[in-house]
Structure 1
């Protein structure tokens, strides 16, 4: 009996040791996967930043019918938009357009919406000047048709910004001066201060301390 107990104890100790080794291997594997995922996120972030940098001087025009640039070119469309919406800006000299073109066709060629026009300006400050004027006017038109002027960003950055749209509209109706900061942070004014949130989780944590804001954003977070 004594020998059997010793044998059983030895086997249990051996089994525990093997289990411990397996647990260590599992933990090492999980740690390696976490490091790999972190590296992938870092690389994706760098690629997104590079893509956005290449688009730094670009303006994206949304809502222009496909046939409008025929004859005068896509460059002429932006010039007409400036003349129609910002006549004082149109009087300034030096706004140089390097190139302008429609976004490529996607697989669904039967879509009802027109492809966007991408305009590349020679100077970043001219792009900012135009977009600032657009934000100040709020409602833009082209030959009476509503349009939008926005900065041109990578698809990943656009998707991240799109996640804020519902919350942005609610805050905008409350005159809380919301803005989307690069790459995809939300800022707004509350209690006389500007608060910035890089993601929804940070905003959720902040909202729990502000009952009035919690009521405003009910159903959006």
Structure 2
């Protein structure tokens, strides 16, 4: 960390709560990249590290550091919902591998995809109002192609 991001290290204190290597098939004859899952105490630190890693091609002991394309794509997918939940102080988190989690009425709710979250939100009126633009598809757009000419009159 210090060798690749010296300024970043001075800017923030890193408190890692847990570090694990994700299991994968290891070929003894050939060095294979290994995924490392790091849980940080602060979300802001994670975002700064990911941003710096994307901007600069950095290495660790000669091996390139690459944020997983899947996790970055998932973060982009949940980004609009994450911002709304954060503004409403629902303590949202994006979990590995690409799930969103937030507190609702004291309970932690976790969703692996947007479809599951739509099903949950459909039964909760306050959440419907908050997330209407991002999660719930507009009925008017869906219904236009299905009507026949007699119904339009």
- Is TM > 0.5 for Structure 1 vs Structure 2? yes
Match of 1:208 in 2: 122
Matching residue within 174, 180, 183 for 2:94? 180
Matching residue within 49, 67, 77 for 1:149? 49
Q: Deviation at 1:182?
A: 1.0
* Superposition misfits of 4+ residues, deviation over 4 angstroms: none
Q: What TM-score, normalized to structure 2?
A: 0.55
Q: Deviation at 1:139?
A: 7.8
Provide the secondary structure at the position in 1 that maps to 2:72. helix
- Structure ID, larger Rg: 1
Are residues 85 and 178 of structure 1, via their aligned partners in 2, closer, same or farther at CA, if it must alter by over 3 Å? same
Are residues 139 and 158 of structure 1, via their aligned partners in 2, closer, same or farther at CA, if it must alter by over 3 Å? closer
Q: Deviation at 1:207?
A: 0.5
Provide the secondary structure at the position in 1 that maps to 2:109. strand
Any gaps of 5 or more consecutive residues in structure 2? 16-35, 54-65, 136-153
Greater fraction helix: 1
Match of 2:11 in 1: 84
Larger relative contact order (CA 8 Å, sep ≥ 6): 1
Distance in 1, Cα, partners of 2:45 & 2:96: 23
Q: Deviation at 1:186?
A: 0.6
Q: Deviation at 1:154?
A: 2.1
- The RMSD of aligned alpha carbons is 3.0
Q: Deviation at 1:85?
A: 2.2
Q: Deviation at 1:211?
A: 0.2
Any gaps of 5 or more consecutive residues in structure 1? 1-58, 60-73, 91-123, 141-146
Are residues 85 and 183 of structure 1, via their aligned partners in 2, closer, same or farther at CA, if it must alter by over 3 Å? same
Matching residue within 189, 192, 207 for 2:103? 189
- The number of residue pairs the alignment matches comes to 101
